[in-house]
Every structure is written in structure tokens, then in C-alpha cells.
Amino acid sequence: MMRVSKGLAVIAAGLALSPVAAAAQNIEWINAVAVIAEDREGMELHLRADEVTDDLSRARVMRGICDHFLPSAVPLIKELTKVQDPDFVKVRITTRAWEQVLGAGGRWEATFAIENATCGDEDIASRRTMSPSALYLR
């Protein structure tokens, strides 16, 4: 009986520590892109969500999403590109919802410093909207 309780406590602790924000928004990783500037090397994470809401404006939500995907993206970038020590990550989340794309549009972007393999200080966060005349499809 003690083993079952201990096991449930470990599972509950693991669920509490996992980034729920990514799962709650149904966010999908589309790709990662290396960014090489004159003085910095970094990467962009392109993600897609069912809907982009104002909840993403909260820094802790974006950071949680960033921390969720970063451990998989950094090794991929290092393996496939010349970027060996990325010092920033730009997270871009776009919507799947056509109402948002054709209406006001929905895209959130935030740039974080990479510190100890996690998303650290936030450099820039903004909501981007697209006008219907400037749509692009992938």
C-alpha cells in the first residue's frame, strides 16, 4: 500500500511540473530555424495552435511553452546547422483557426535568452496581426 501512494505522489509531482500550457493550447511544433546574425547565433521555433488568445501575452505562459520545446530543438539545430551555441530563441505561435487568420489574425512572438538549456530573460514579446491583404499560406 505504501508503494502505491508513493508512486502516485511521484506521478502527481511530475504532472504538476510539466508545462501544462502547451498541452492546454494544443500547440504543435512545426519547425526550427537557425538564425545567424553578425554578433549573435540563435534559433526560431515555429509553433501552431488551435487558437491564439490573449493568455499568451503572459510571460510565464510563453516561457513555459518555450521551455517545453527547447530541449528537443537545440540538439536538432546543433546537429543540422552551423549554430553550435545558440544564445537566444524566438518563439512564434500562429493559429490554425481560419476565423482569426481572415479576421484580425493571430500570431504571438517572444524572444528569450537561452540560459542553462532553458528559456531565460525575455527580450521582446509582441502580438502580431495580419491584414487580409497581406496573407500568406504555407
Q: What pLDDT is recorded for position 105?
A: 54
Q: What pLDDT is recorded for position 108?
A: 80
Residue 40 DSSP symbol:
-
Domain ranges in the chain are 26-133
pLDDT in tens, the chain (138 residues): 444 434 333 333 333 333 434 444 588 888 999 999 888 899 999 988 877 666 666 667 888 899 999 999 999 999 999 999 999 999 988 877 655 555 555 678 889 999 988 998 887 655 544 434 333 333
Q: What pLDDT is recorded for position 99?
A: 54
What are φ and ψ of residue 46, in 5° steps? -100, 120
Q: Are 89 and 70 in contact (CB under 8 A)?
A: yes
Q: Which residues contact 76 (CB under 8 A, 6 or more apart)?
A: 32
Q: How far apart are CA 68 and CA 30, in angstroms?
A: 14
Q: What pLDDT is recorded for position 58?
A: 67
Q: Residue 111 is inside which H or E element, if any?
A: strand 107-115
Q: Are 124 and 111 in contact (CB under 8 A)?
A: yes
Q: Report the helix count and the strand count for the chain, using DSSP H and E.
A: 4, 5
